[in-house]
Amino acid sequence: MIDKKHLNEFIKIVGKENIYDDKAHNIAYSYDATRTRFEPDAVIFPRHEQDVSDILKYCNKHKIIITPRGAGSGFTGGALPASGGIILAMEKHMNKILEIDTQNMVAVVQPAVINMDLQKHVEKLGLFYPPDPASEEYSTLGGNVSENAGGMRAAKYGITKDFVMALKAVRVNGDIIRAGKRTIKDVAGYNIAGILIASEGTLAVLTELTLKLIPKPKYKKTYMGVFPNVDSAMNAVFKSLSNGANPVAMEFLDKLVIEALIEKLGVNLPKDAGGVLVGDVDGNVPEEIEFQLKTLEESFKENGATSFIVAKNDEEAKELWYARKNASQSITIYGNKKLNEDISVPRSMLPNALEGIYAIGKKYGFKIPCFGHAGDGNIHVNVMIDISQIDEGHKCIEEIFKLVVKMGGTLSGEHGIGTSKAPFMDIAFNKEELQLFKDIKKAFDPNNILNPNKMGL
């Protein structure tokens, strides 16, 4: 329970209508997509940047723990109040698109703007914001930056960090800082924006984002390649890219996912398919689209594809994408609990990584259906267990992490670390590197009040 005197001070800052400590609000802000629950002591809705500054300054002085939160849609507990304290909820007020600069092709937004809302807004102006996490319809841009979210278009366009030009943030002492510039080139000073991106709200609170936009491509087509096994599909990924293909997305489904989609959802896929690649190509002239599709088809068939399909219209494109977009819900036929990880490996290691993952699953007796972003080496690994097998499931996950790190990969390609992956940080980083992370955290947050106990810090 937070002391009443502190609540009264917060009321002075934001007004009574923007702070709640009742059970209903505390429960509502106690969980994210991990379904793990930690109740805060109160929820505060800052109205603007100065409120954020005043709140942080007060919390730092009185050593009150505070956790920034956007939509609470994360998969690793990054926005959970794991140590109690205050939830700083941004979505009520700090949700405005402040500026679209069409001449310099940048957007200036507050952190609680929904990703999809920005995409729709700029596309009306002939512009394009590519980062598209699966949660794009409800996740906030501040959360995307805090977790360095990826998405299906990352194969061609990159991830969130590639589109952050500058940001404003508030430090725990209340100082308001600006990191980065609106310019294309900026090499003056330390790259503070780079440190704050993917910091999961542990270093400062984001209050404004300047994001790069690009012209919206004029043409797009959807394709699908069907393979006899997932190994052939994975080889086709990096070989097609080395042959000059540059798809917007190249998503994959393995045999277990395909079988689940057919059984649970009746998806029209070949029953003997062992692997599927689906994605989009885009460009500004029809010839560019045709070149991309020809390169993909030739590369796929050279690597064993039994068929290559190109959607003739938007309706057919939706049908091809339906399988990938419903992969996650279909695999529940394999267990009543899913341990969902998003490991990332160099693309050329995809066949070896999947072979190793399946071998680990066989060792533990678990089915591990895999799907994800083959175009950038990001695999969604789903260890399917019954709830009574949770300890063995975590041991299985640990072995998978060790495998991918040995291959030059890492623990997460887009979900982040938060609380759920924190115990495994020493697999990916040595003690000197982990100490450096702790030193950076201490420099930004000497009293350890800002989203503590995340990322193993």
* Per-residue pLDDT tens over the stretch 99-134: 999 999 999 999 999 999 999 999 999 999 999 999
Alpha-carbon gap, residue 372 to 211, rounded angstroms: 26
Q: Are 93 and 17 in contact (CB under 8 A)?
A: no
Count CB atoms within 10 A of the CB of residue 192.
17
Q: Are 139 and 70 in contact (CB under 8 A)?
A: yes
pLDDT over threshold 90, residue 1: no
DSSP 3-state assignment of 408? coil
Quote the pLDDT of residue 256.
97
Residue that is written with structure tokens 């070149």 in the block: 291
Quote the pLDDT of residue 59.
98
**Amino acid at position 151, single letter:** G
Residue 201: closest CA among 394, 456, 452? 452
Percent of the chain with pLDDT over 90: 98
* 428 membership: H or E segment, kind and range: helix 425-428
Quote the pLDDT of residue 35.
83
SS (H, E, C) 342-377: EEECCHHHHHHHHHHHHHHHHHHCCECCEEEEHHHC
Token reading at 153: 């278009």
Quote the pLDDT of residue 283.
97
Q: Are 318 and 361 in contact (CB under 8 A)?
A: no
DSSP 3-state assignment of 109? strand
Compute the average pLDDT of residues 151-170.
97
* Bridge partners (DSSP) listed for residue 205: 170
Residue that is written with structure tokens 């919390």 in the block: 59
List Cβ neighbours of 385 (8 Å cut-off, separation of 6 or more): 335, 336, 337, 338, 339, 366, 392, 393
Alpha-carbon gap, residue 144 to 156, rounded angstroms: 18
DSSP H helices in 270-407:
286-302, 314-325, 327-330, 350-364, 390-406
**Residue 118 carries which DSSP code?**
H
Quote the pLDDT of residue 7.
97
Q: Are 30 and 38 in contact (CB under 8 A)?
A: yes
Going from the N-terminus, what domains does the chain have, and what CATH number goes with each?
4-92 (3.30.43.10), 97-215 (3.30.465.10), 219-329 (3.30.70.2190), 335-428 (3.30.70.2740)
Q: Are 228 and 277 in contact (CB under 8 A)?
A: no
Quote the pLDDT of residue 197.
98
Question: Tens of pLDDT along 299-346?
Answer: 999 999 999 999 999 999 999 999 999 999 999 999 989 999 999 999
Question: Tens of pLDDT along 49-106?
Answer: 999 999 999 999 999 999 999 999 999 999 999 999 999 999 999 999 999 999 999 9
* 97 membership: H or E segment, kind and range: strand 97-101
Quote the pLDDT of residue 77.
95
Compute the average pLDDT of residues 348-358.
96
The C-alpha angle with vertex 383 and arms to 381 and 387, in degrees rounded to 5, equals: 150
pLDDT band with cut points at 50, 70 and 90 for residue 178: very high
List Cβ neighbours of 161 (8 Å cut-off, separation of 6 or more): 145, 148, 194, 197, 198
Q: What is the rounded average pLDDT for all residues in the chain? A: 97
Q: How many residues does the chain have?
A: 457
Residue that is written with structure tokens 């599909």 in the block: 233
Token reading at 140: 């906030």
Residue 265 main-chain phi, psi, to 5 deg: -115, -5
pLDDT band with cut points at 50, 70 and 90 for residue 168: very high
